Amino acid sequence: AQTVTQSQPEMSVQEAETVTLSCTYDTSESNYYLFWYKQPPSRQMILVIRQEAYKQQNATENRFSVNFQKAAKSFSLKISDSQLGDTAMYFCAFMKQGSLRDMRFGAGTRLTVKP
């Protein structure tokens, strides 16, 4: 079974600074997808960024980028130039390729951006 671990329950960062959220996962699969979702106080789940495991290049999306280390099974999220609107819960998620099953989510990291 796949498991996703987020070891930082809470983090804070000053506005405009950079923060990195950690995620590790455990799987025997070789083809899969990894995601970071943001859940603001509104509780909506919003996709931030995704990474295909077969791609060596790290995904980037504006101020968000990942450091994907397949051998180490690590998938960290870097937020540059943090903004107050980035304050949210961040969930790392794993999905096996070709499966009709769900994504597996980590426990989440609560990020607070301070003015």
Partner 1 sequence: EPEVTQTPSHQVTQMGQEVILRCVPISNHLYFYWYRQILGQKVEFLVSFYNNEISEKSEIFDDQFSVERPDGSNFTLKIRSTKLEDSAMYFCASIAGPPGTSENNEQFFGPGTRLTVL
Please give the residue ranges that form the binding site for partner 1 (CB under 8 A).
31-33, 37, 42-47, 50, 52, 91, 93, 95-108
Least separation in angstroms between CB 73 and partner 1? 18
Least separation in angstroms between CB 82 and partner 1? 23
The alpha carbon dihedral of 110, 34, 61, 23 has a sign of positive
Residues 6+ apart with CB under 8 A from 113: 12, 13, 14, 15, 82, 83, 84, 85, 86, 87
Length of the chain (residues):
115
Considering the complex, state which of residue 16 and residue 107 has its C-beta at the smaller distance from partner 1: 107
Least separation in angstroms between CB 17 and partner 1? 27
Considering the complex, state which of residue 82 and residue 109 has its C-beta at the smaller distance from partner 1: 109
